[in-house]
Amino acid sequence: MTDGQKPEEEPIFQDPKAGRSRRALVAGSVGNFIEWYEFGVYGYFATIIAARFFTPEGGSEAEALVKAYASFALAFFFRPVGAALFGRLGDRVGRRPVLILVIVLMTGATTLIGVLPTYAQVGALAPWLLTFLRVLQGLSAGGEFGGAVSVMTEFAPPGRRGLYGSWQSFTVALGLLGGAGAAALLATVLTERQLGDWGWRLPFLLTLPLGLTALWLRLRLDETPAFREEHDVERPPVRQVVGAVALGAGRIMGWAAAGYTFLVVLPSYLQSTLNASFRQALVATVLANLGFAATIVPAGLLSDRVGRRPVMLTGAVLVTVLAVPLLNLLQDSGTSHAVEGVAVCGAGAVVGLMAGPGPAMLAELFPTTVRYTGLGLAYALSNAVFSGCAGLIITKTVERTGNVDIPGYYAAATCAVSVLALVKSPGRKAG
């Protein structure tokens, strides 16, 4: 088990055909796009979903939003279960068949959300049906990351793990942007009543053709050379794997929390706390995600040259220092829209510095025999606690304390912990 960026005892077997590497990159990325597209759509439409599924007549809108985020968080807490279940299968029977299974589950659950009856139609059954589908999404998403990153990094050409792994994070940005774009388009062409009555369903239904495309790509995917060569090798001790999972989760804690705070929770925060309109909140979110997308791949490429830790440390330190001042800037009524746009775009860009090298860093913590399980668990645990709970923690804490700086404190505190985890041992040049 390695803790650095260039584990000599754990070589990645390279595919001599560039076409297979590119095909693996696309097949690994597409499921991740669908996963984060859906999570983005749910976050962007959180206020509408809360009203349709969690608000009986006379209920509190604020309490409904908290319940909607609780359902959101519950799905994230099933991600570690999915990571353990599908990861074990992926490390024993292969990356390809498990990635095919999880894309089918993910697509089916997301599409069904688009046809669910609301509270007004079936009463208290509505939130339970929604929560059940969110749980299925959480299970499948838990099995997605470990397999996708394993495929990308195990097919990566020499010295390009950071670049190839960064595409996993880049498709997070694309998925969130896709969700934001769909929400913004609908908010533009539909009336508020149409959007609330049926328009919110359309982005979920769009998942079906996306999922079928992803399934076709994964059916054409080859098994990774590393798995074929090493899956029968003796596995490391459980204690060693658990230690690596804990270290990996700590290193990406800030990425998970700050990313979800600035990229997904921001719309509801701007609407419920700063009285922004739905369209204004979506514009801010699109700008944040554009900044995020712009730095991910360059950060991954840079990490192939200077190491994972220096790049990730830069992002974590910047969020720790700048998160609260950023929110204060947005709260100031005298701040121009141009300055606000630059600020939220910059916030996304800083998160991208952590997200770019993150997948390769996690892959390099684990040997092939436990890589799917190990990196999937590290990612799922960190996201379950610090992404899935972000909306719930922030919304409830702001409601109870009245402190509108809570999102900044949350992002800064988690990134400070990541700084400590990243400096735990000396880094080495990535390879």
The torsion angle over the Cα atoms of residues 50, 55, 61 and 64, rounded to 10 degrees, is -50
Confidence at 15, pLDDT banded by 50, 70, 90 = very low
Q: How far apart are the first and last CA of the chain?
A: 16
Q: Give the pLDDT confidence score for residue 59 in this predicted structure.
A: 53
Confidence at 47, pLDDT banded by 50, 70, 90 = confident
3-state class percentages of the chain: helix first, strand second, coil last, to nearest 5:
80, 0, 20
Contact 430, 358 (CB under 8 A): no
Confidence at 18, pLDDT banded by 50, 70, 90 = low
User: How far is 42 from 289, CA to CA, in rounded Å?
Assistant: 16
pTM attached to this predicted model: 0.82
Contact 263, 190 (CB under 8 A): no
Closest CA to 304 of 411, 412, 158: 158
Contact 76, 246 (CB under 8 A): no
- Over the range 202-226, which residues count as b (16 or more CB within 10 Å of their CB) and which as e? bbbebbeebbeebbebbeebbbbbb
Confidence at 430, pLDDT banded by 50, 70, 90 = very low
Please state, for a pLDDT cut of 70, what percent of the chain lies above it: 90
Alpha helix segments (H runs only) across 5-117: 18-44, 46-53, 61-77, 79-92, 95-113
Q: Give the pLDDT confidence score for residue 420 in this predicted structure.
A: 95
pLDDT at 264 over 90: no
| Residue range 18-422, CATH number | 1.20.1250.20
Between 290 and 184, residue with greater pLDDT: 290
Neighbouring residues of 252: CB distance < 8 A, sequence distance ≥ 6: 354, 358, 361, 362, 378, 379, 382, 418
> Taking all residues of the chain, what is their mean pLDDT, rounded to a whole number?
85
